[in-house]
Amino acid sequence: MAPTSEILTAERILEATEEVLRRHGPAKATVVDVARALGVSHGSVYRHFRTKAALREAVTKRWLDRTSGELSGIAAADRDPEARLRDWLAALFAAKRRKAGDDPELFATYTVLTGENGTAVSEHIADLTAQLARVIRAGMESGSFTAPDPEATARAVFQATARFHDPGYAREWREEGVEADFEAVVDLLVRGLRA
């Protein structure tokens, strides 16, 4: 094992885990592989993450949080709610497409990991729908949108746009005409919110 002069942090472990997952895939990646990549013993990794499952959940949460972080600024912006909603949905679609297209091996790995980590996924979806609810509430307050319940409406908008962010549809994101389909769905939703 190569000696390391850097302090071992949870963040360094997560970065190394991501690289190991990219290289070996979720079925073959081990904590020993992560430790080897860091030049430490596997016990050092276990001091930060008590189990392999905890490590995999943390790396999944970190991956999902990147998308949430990208979107939170749009949701919080002080501007026209309709434009914010359109931009937020477009940014979500773009982020998911980018992840699937730029690093398909890692995207496939995370698709497996998100299936294992229901808590991380549930928290991610709750965060995203809360961001949507914030935008919809702002639209209601400005008179741009009419909705009886911003939280329920946010869940409905999220579910109605699943084709453009649910990893199960990733193959369709490269198809010709997907952008036009996305715009048509968003236009329909916005018209419905204005009613």
Coil, strand or helix at 25: coil
46-68 mean pLDDT: 89
Per-residue pLDDT of 113-124, as tens digits, reads 777 767 888 899
Which pLDDT does position 176 carry in this prediction? 96
Per-residue pLDDT of 74-116, as tens digits, reads 999 999 999 999 999 999 999 999 888 777 777 777 777 777 7
Report the phi/psi class of residue 82: left, alpha or beta, with left for phi > 0 and alpha for psi in -120 to 50: alpha
Helical spans, DSSP H, in the chain: 10-24, 31-38, 42-48, 52-76, 81-102, 104-116, 118-142, 150-160, 178-194
Q: Interior CA angle at 189 toward 192 and 128, to 5°?
A: 125
Look up the pTM and report it: 0.84
